[in-house]
Chains A and B, each alone.
Chain A
C-alpha cells in the first residue's frame, strides 16, 4: 500500500487519508481508538504512517470499495459483519464492497483478538464513526467541486447528490477528498435508516470456500518452505531423556531433525514425509507426577468436601437461611476435560532471518503471539510481521500461540522457512483443554420459594466461576454465595468456546429445573419469578438484565409452544446470559424405541441490533448443536499423564444424524449489538438434560450424558 501526495490526519478520529499512487483514496484508521474519548496519540501525529493503523478503507476511482477487516476470522462471521457496519455508514452498495483480511502490521491497535464474542460489541461505535466520517469527507469534496454548501448534499449507495440533482460517484471525488480536512463531527444514522445492517449478507469468503481456493493457514505456501512435524512429550509433565533419529533421517524427503526443548522436529520437503519421519523417531522420556482422570476425580471431590475456598460473592446470610429451610437440595455436577478439535489442525508458518521474522497462520491473538515470539527469539517487535489467515475453527484453541512459538523456534534453528503442521493426534494430545470441573450446588427452599443458593466450584487450574459470580442467579436470591477452589495440574488448560459457562450453565440450569420440580411449579415460571427480584437492582456488579432475560424467556416460551406440544414430545428449558447476550432455549425430545431423540431446539436471543441476520442465525444454530454434541458425547480422560483419546475414531463429535433442527428467534430492539460466537452454546446442554428428565424421569449429573445413559442401560 504505497501512498503519496496529500495526507491528512484527524486527531480525534485517528484517521488518516491519502491518495494512492495507483489511484483512489486510502483511509486508514484505528478501529477502536478512533472513538475512545480518552485515547491519546502515542506518537507525533505527523510521523504516523499507515502501518500505525489496523483497518483501511480503499475507495478506487471507479467507486469500488475495499475494506480491510481488522479482526481474525475463525468462523464467527466478523469478516462479513464488521465491514457491513462500515459500509452502512459509508453508504455504499454492498455488492461493490470487497473485504480483505488485514495483516497485523500495526503497533497501536487495540483489540485485534477474536475471543469472548466481543468483536462486534467493541467495534460497533468505532466502525460506524469511521464509515460516517469517510462519507462526510466525500460529500465535502463533492460540495467543493460544485461550489455548494455540503449540508445541501446527500449520499446514498456511493452516489453524492446536490440540491440541483447533480450527481457524482464516490470514485470521482476521492482525490479531492484526500486533500480536505477530516470532518470531526459527523452524524450517525438512526436504526430505521439502515439498508445494509439487518439484511442478510452471505459470508464474504463464500466463493473461495465452495471452490476450494487457498484461504487457511494449512493452505499457505512460501518458496523453499519445509514442513515440520513435531514429537512432543506423550504425557504431561514428561521431559525428554534421549532419542534416536536414524530411522527418521532415512525416510525419503526428510531434511533435518531438530531437538528444541523437550521436543523433536522432523523437517521434510512434504507433509507426508515429515509425518512418516516423526513416526520413525524413538525417544525415551522422564515422568514427572503423571496425572490421571481417576486422581482428578478424587481430588476435586476432596476439594468440594473441604473448606478451603475463595469467596467470590456473598449476599445476605446463607448459613441462617439454610438453618431455617423447609428443605435443602444439594447436587454435584461433573464435567471432563475437553479438547477443542478445530477441524483445521494447529499449524503455523515462520521464516526467521537476520533481517526479520515473518509469521503466517491461523491465530486468534496475533498481538500476543508477536510479543511472545519477540521475547523467545530476543527480537524487536518491529522486526516481526504477522499475517493472519482464515481459521478452520478456533473455539479458544487458537488464542494460545504455542504452535506459532514452535514454528518460530524451529525456523530460527533450521534457518529455513518452515511450517509446523499438527496431525490430528498431535492436536488432540497437545491441547489447552477446557479443564475438568465439579460444581456442588445447594439451595434452601422455604414457603415455596428459593431462599438461599450456595455454589462451590472445584476446577483444574483455573477457576471458572471466579470471573462471573454476578451472573444469574446473583441478585435473584437474597442469600447467595459462590466459593471457588482449584487444583494446580501440569495439564495445560485454557479457554474453550464460552469459557466459564459452557459447563456451568448446564449444571445451574439443570439444578433450577430440579428445584422447580421440587417446588411443584413450572420451570419457566420459577425463572420468571426469580428474575422479578433483580429488576431495578442497584447492585452495579450484576451483569445481566432481569428485564431482557425475561423478554427472551417469554419469546422462547411462545415460539416453542411450551407446555402445549403434541403427545410424545418432552420439553426441557434452559436460559443463560453470557458474553453480553441473553439466550433462552427449549429442547424437544421424543422417545424412539425407548431412546431419547432430540428433534428440535427453539432458541430466543437478545443480542441487540442484528447486524447480519443470516450470519447471526448460523452462529446460534452452530452454537446450540456444538453445545448439545459436547454435552452428549464428548469425553476426554488421562491415564499416567497421557490423553486416552487421540482421534475421531474414539473421540466423538456430533454428526448430522444426531442433530435436531434449531429454530432461532431474535428479540427485536434497538440496543447496541452484542456477540454471538459463544452465547448460543451454554444453555443447550441444560435444555437437553431437562428434556431427558421430562422424557425419562432421569436427572443427569455428569457430562457426557451418554456415559450415564449407557450405565443405566438407556442407551446401548
Chain B
C-alpha cells in the first residue's frame, strides 16, 4: 500500500493506505481522530464534515490519494482549547442531545460563518440543511449559529 503525507490540523501525518480509502476512515482508524463521525457513507448526513482548505466537505467522499498539499482541519483542530466561537455558542445554548452529529454540525457552521459572519436566519437554515440531527436539536443548532455569528462579527 502506498504512503500519503497529509496536512491535518497543522501537522504533517504520514499514512499507509489503499488509494481509495476515504479520508473519514484515515482519520478514524489510522490517526485516531475519532471526532469526525460516520453516519451514512454517501455524503447525505454531514456527520463526517471536515474543512478542506477552509471549506466544509464530507470526508466520507474524499479519497486519501487526492489530499496532498491540502489543508485539512477536523473538529480536534478547530481550536486549541475548545473555545472557537462556534464551540462556545454550542455550549452556551446547550445544543447536544446524543451529541453524535454535533462535530459535523460545528464544522459546517464554522466554515459557513467564516464566509458570512452576519447571516440571515434563512441563510443559516440553508447552510445547515445538509447536516442531519437525528435527535432533531435543530432549533438549538440554528440559535447557536446565530450566537456564534454575533461573537464573530
Contact = CB atoms under 8 A, between A and B. Distances in A.
Interface stretch (B40-48, B51-59, B112-120): B40-48
A648 B134 contact: no
Contacts of A657: 125-126, 129
A549 B89 CA distance: 36
Given A212-B36, A343-B132, A659 B139 contact: yes
Given A216-B100, A648-B45, A657-B126, A202 B94 contact: yes
Interface stretch (A97-105, A483-491, A613-621): A613-621
B134 A341 contact: yes
Contacts of B129: 655-657
B18 interface: yes
Max chain B CB contacts within 10 Å: which of A221, A345, A391, A393? A393
B138 A659 contact: yes
Contacts of B75: 210-212
Interface in A249-297: 252-253, 270-273, 275
A253 B29 CA distance: 12
Interface residues of A, number: 66
A624 B22 CA distance: 35
Contacts of B47: 343
A78 to B, nearest CB: 11
B94 A200 contact: yes
Contacts of A275: 41
B64 to A, nearest CB: 10
A622 B40 contact: no
Contacts of A424: 39-42
Interface in B1-34: 1, 17-18, 21-22, 25, 28-30, 32-34
B91 A210 contact: yes
Interface string A647-687: 11100011111010110000000000000000000000000
A636 to B, nearest CB: 15
Max chain B CB contacts within 10 Å: which of A218, A344, A653, A661? A344
A391 B134 CA distance: 12
Given A76-B97, A212-B76, A622 B35 contact: no
A640 interface: no
B44 A648 contact: yes
B42 to A, nearest CB: 6
Interface string B48-74: 000000000000000000000000001
Max chain A CB contacts within 10 Å: which of B40, B78, B103? B40
B106 A210 contact: yes
Given A211-B76, A271-B29, A343 B94 contact: no
Contact of A647 (B18, B25, B44): B44
Contacts of B45: 343, 648
Contacts of B137: 618, 621-622
Contacts of B25: 270-272
B128 interface: yes
Contact of B39 (A252, A343, A624): A343
Interface in A171-226: 200, 202-203, 205-207, 209-216, 218-219, 221
B139 A661 contact: yes
A7 interface: no
Interface string B73-89: 01110110010000100
A209 B125 contact: no
B134 A343 contact: yes
A629 B98 contact: no
B42 A648 contact: yes
B134 A647 contact: no
B22 A272 contact: yes
B139 A625 contact: yes
Contacts of A614: 94
B37 A218 contact: yes
A614 B38 CA distance: 28
Nearest to B92: A202
B135 interface: yes
B90 to A, nearest CB: 5
Given A343-B134, A618-B137, A656-B125, A647 B42 contact: yes
Nearest to A202: B94
Given A252-B18, A622-B137, A654-B136, A343 B98 contact: yes
Contacts of A227: 29
B40 A209 contact: no
A404 to B, nearest CB: 18
Max chain B CB contacts within 10 Å: which of A227, A253, A423, A648? A648
A206 B98 contact: no
A212 B134 contact: no
Contacts of A579: none
A647 B76 contact: no
Nearest to B47: A343
A618 B35 contact: no
A77 interface: yes
B143 to A, nearest CB: 9
A234 interface: no
Contacts of B36: 212
Interface in A488-521: none
Interface string B107-149: 0000000000000000001101111111111111110000000
Interface in A445-488: none
A661 B142 CA distance: 10
A393 B40 contact: no
Contact of B90 (A210, A342, A655): A210
B97 A656 contact: no
Given A75-B99, A202-B94, A203-B99, A621 B37 contact: no
Contact of A649 (B44, B79, B141): B44
Contacts of A654: 136, 138
Contacts of B140: 618, 621
Contact of B99 (A271, A390, A421, A623): A390
A625 B42 contact: no
Contacts of A211: 35, 75-76, 78-79, 82, 87
Nearest to A623: B136
B40 A647 contact: yes
Nearest to A391: B98
Nearest to A214: B34
A344 B28 CA distance: 14
B111 to A, nearest CB: 15
Contacts of B34: 212, 214, 218-219
B97 A622 contact: yes
A421 B39 CA distance: 11
Contact of B97 (A216, A618, A648): A618
Contact of B28 (A271, A648, A649): A271
Contacts of A391: 98
A137 B81 CA distance: 39
Interface string A414-454: 00000001011000000000000000000000000000000
Contacts of B126: 657
A606 interface: no
A53 to B, nearest CB: 27
Max chain B CB contacts within 10 Å: which of A207, A212, A394, A624? A212
A210 B104 CA distance: 10
17 contacts: A206-B94, A209-B103, A211-B75, A253-B18, A270-B30, A275-B41, A343-B45, A343-B133, A343-B134, A344-B98, A391-B98, A392-B98, A423-B41, A625-B138, A626-B135, A655-B138, A656-B131
Given A395-B134, A622-B97, 10 more contacts: A75-B97, A210-B96, A210-B103, A211-B78, A211-B82, A212-B75, A270-B29, A342-B98, A621-B136, A648-B45
The 6 lowest CB-CB distance pairs between A and B, nearest first, are A212-B35, A75-B98, A392-B100, A212-B75, A625-B136, A648-B44
